[in-house]
Each structure stands twice: as structure tokens, then as C-alpha cells.
Amino acid sequence: MKEVTVRGEKGGYAQHATARGHEVVGDETKDDGGADRGMTPTELLLASLGSCKTITVRMYAAKKGWPLEDVVVHLSHDKEEAAKEDGTKEVVHRIRASVRLEGALDADQRARLLDISTRCPIHRMLQGKIEIESRLA
């Protein structure tokens, strides 16, 4: 099991996430009461997805020996309320990922790499059934 520990600072929203000796700082924007010392939780989630997509694409292209020079993924998130068939409403979260591939790739290679980007572990995790168990430690 992979583990990440998150510890907040006293007197603010800044959070320090650590794993395997690495640290990432998360915070809220100043408009939302934070000190803007790091990415927001939503931005961290998008960064995780984007990192996974770029790594997966690079690994695949390297394995195939394709001339991929760089991968850049731009991600955004929005949400909207949608009516369900039973008349109730649900919130639909939409993540948009724009994948830019640089290098002398043909159209088939580009299409395949875009497809491969949707098969990265984080993309699959977010599209699958997720159960979150919270308990007091």
C-alpha cells in the first residue's frame, strides 16, 4: 500500500504532504482565506493526473522507439448540477485534459499516444469506483 502523510500548519490552511522523503505544499488561494503557498487541493489532483498522463505517454513512446520529444498536458476542472432521471440533482465534475505531443510523430502515433494517456493509472482510478474510508487514528 502506498502512503502519503499530510500535516497542516497551525494558524492557516497550508498543508505539507510527504511521501518517501518528498514534500509538496498545498494551500488555499488568498481569496479563499489561505496564504497561497502552494497549489490548491484541486490543482494537486489535476497535477497528479497530468503527471501520470505524461509519464505513461513517455514510457509507451520510449518502449516503441517513437520520436516523442516532449509531452505537455493542460488540465482544467469545472462542475455543474445535472438533473437525474428521478428528478434529483447531482454534481457532475468535468476534467478536461489537452495533450500536446512534440516530435516527428505521424497521425497514427499521435492518436495512439492520446489513447494511451487515457489508460494511465490515475485516469483509470478517477473513472473507476472509488471508496474512501475515513477513521480516527
81-130: pLDDT as tens digits:
988 889 899 999 999 999 999 999 999 999 999 999 999 999 999 999 99
pLDDT class for 58, splitting at 50, 70, 90?
very high
User: Distance (Å, rounded) from C-alpha 90 to C-alpha 86?
Assistant: 11
| Mean pLDDT to the nearest integer, 58-82 | 97
pLDDT at 1: 74
Question: What is the average pLDDT value for the chain, to the nearest integer?
Answer: 96
* Contact indicator for 24, 17 with CB cutoff of 8 Å: yes
User: Distance (Å, rounded) from C-alpha 46 to C-alpha 95?
Assistant: 8
